[in-house]
Amino acid sequence: MSLAALFAALDARPDAAPLFNGGDRIWSAAAVRAETEALAVRLRDCRSLAILADNGPAWAIADLAALRAGVPVIPLPPFFSPTQIAHVLEQTGVDAVLTDQPERITGLGAGFVHADCWQDLAWLARPAQPGSLPAGTAKVSFTSGSTGTAKGVCLSADGLVDTAAAISARLADLPIDRHLAVLPLALLLENSAGIYAPLLRGAEIALPPLTMLGWQGMSGFDPARLHGSAQVFRPHSMILVPELLKAWSLYLAATGRRVPAGLTYVAVGGARVAPGALDAARRAGIPAYQGYGLTECGSVVALNRPGDDADDVGRPLDHATVRIANGEVVVTARAFLGYLGDPPEAADGPREFATGDLGALTADGHLQLSGRRKNLLITSFGRNVAPEWVEAALLAQPAIAQAIVAGEARPWLSALLVPAPGADDAALAAAVAAANATLPDYARIGAWRAAAPFTLANGQATGNGRPLRTAILSHYAAALAALYEPEETQDVVL
């Protein structure tokens, strides 16, 4: 599908139809169209546009206007450090920034000055040499990576719309007329599945500020605020990462509250989700379904849904071709144009991308994942164990907030466990025992130690809460080694 289809869907909305709800103002379709067109005209002299702003209608309109003007967009995640932001701006040669945090940009000493204002956002500009982007780049999505160095993924507009159209088609029969954007819009998952897909299907999009949704910067996440926003906006769909799903599920179970009537579909992605965690969410009333995707593939690749759900990440969407090569998931789609800074390649159609994920296709066409190839642990008994599999079993236990599993070249596995609020060592021990009961002997945890929360502030998690395995294992290397000393006193599991 082409970018024209996205704007055709926008143009087809009745003028008075509510489109973007920022909490303090509801933007009609006519107002969004008018503001998008006006901003697109102003952007045509820009080479590229970075957006560093809170969730809200202004973010979404700026993104659409840049697409309309043919100007590459560089979303800046709010959780990026100054070093990461400076790296992104340098690599892309951005000459314009729209932001509600101008001091974070001007303080970098990168030559940006205040040029104008638009929708309460500062318009910062500078003369800059253009970055070397592949032809057809509409968006450069940066991921923090396991080392913290942001890596730019160059994506085409038509490929992004392919993804959104495939999501819309997969869920076409579900009663979804209002989507609540919970994740930062700078994350491609919410950008594509939370703006473009609802636009294609004619749904209204609620875009409240992140603090209203429970995000607390480096301090964590407040599920009570998420629940309050769900009650205010009454969405039919949402997207959550596993940590937010668990936090909301536990909040609902503890308070006896229920999700708002009409909530039909909650997609969960970003990391493996244990069946127990999905079951707990559904018992709490959250209609949660696991999916899978990668930035390089335009975001969502596979998705479960009502009536086509299993203990896996779902059936591949129509825009992507998925095959398994030597145990690795390989995806072909149109969105990926290459990495920023890599030598240009001839654009001759969809590109095949080796994901680094280990998996298999089931007899009924669903995709099962077992972990990351680079994370695979090989015990001293020669057993291959994907740590994500064991971590998912641990995280299904309410007493465990975060978990990282170790055990490379060791006779048994160990774990670092962050306790949920109120959980003591006895609760953690019981949780490990319960998780071990669901695992084969070679994948069970032989020893563990409690750890402080893995956060953005201490460099052990990304901004959306995903633990950074390399940083955590390095920080706790001595503590983990101590669990195996002396090994002869430990119970060895064959």
Angstrom distance (rounded) from CA 441 to CA 418 = 23
Binned at pLDDT 50, 70 and 90, residue 144 comes out as low
Q: Are 334 and 343 in contact (CB under 8 A)?
A: no
pLDDT value for 492: 35
The stretch 35-60 carries a mean pLDDT of: 96
Angstrom distance (rounded) from CA 447 to CA 449 = 7
* Residue 216 predicted with pLDDT over 80: yes
The stretch 331-341 carries a mean pLDDT of: 93
Q: Which of 288-297, 391-400, 453-462 has the lowest mean pLDDT?
A: 453-462
How many CA atoms are closer than 13 Å to the CA of 186, on its beta-carbon side?
24
pLDDT value for 183: 93
Q: What residues does each domain of the chain span?
A: 3-368, 376-489
* DSSP characters over 217-258: GGG-B-HHHHHHHHHHH--SEEEE-HHHHHHHHHHHHHH---
The stretch 170-186 carries a mean pLDDT of: 97
Q: Which of 297-301, 305-309, 375-379 has the lowest mean pLDDT?
A: 375-379
Query: What's the burial of 332, exposed, middle or buried (CB within 10 Å: 0-12/13-18/19+)?
Result: middle
For the chain, the average pLDDT equals 91
Binned at pLDDT 50, 70 and 90, residue 486 comes out as low
Binned at pLDDT 50, 70 and 90, residue 491 comes out as very low
pLDDT value for 221: 85
Angstrom distance (rounded) from CA 475 to CA 493 = 26
pLDDT value for 483: 95
* Residue 475 predicted with pLDDT over 80: yes
Binned at pLDDT 50, 70 and 90, residue 490 comes out as very low
pLDDT value for 219: 57
Strand order in 400-406's β-sheet? 400-406, 413-419, 445-450
* Residue 193 predicted with pLDDT over 90: yes
Binned at pLDDT 50, 70 and 90, residue 442 comes out as confident
Binned at pLDDT 50, 70 and 90, residue 348 comes out as low
Which CATH architecture is the domain 3-368 placed in? 3-Layer(aba) Sandwich (3.40)
pLDDT value for 146: 43
Tell me, what amino acid is at 2? S
Token pair, residue 445, equals 């945890």
- Helix (H) or strand (E) holding 115, with range, is strand 113-118
Binned at pLDDT 50, 70 and 90, residue 335 comes out as very high
Q: Are 175 and 236 in contact (CB under 8 A)?
A: yes
pLDDT value for 129: 81
* Residue 493 predicted with pLDDT over 70: no
Burial 81-102 (b: 16+ CB within 10 A, else e): eeebbbbbbebbbbbbbbbbbb
* Residue 487 predicted with pLDDT over 60: no
Is the domain spanning 376-489 CATH 3.30.300.30? The answer is yes
Question: When comparing pLDDT for 246 and 306, which is higher?
Answer: 306
pLDDT value for 104: 96
Token pair, residue 363, equals 């007899």
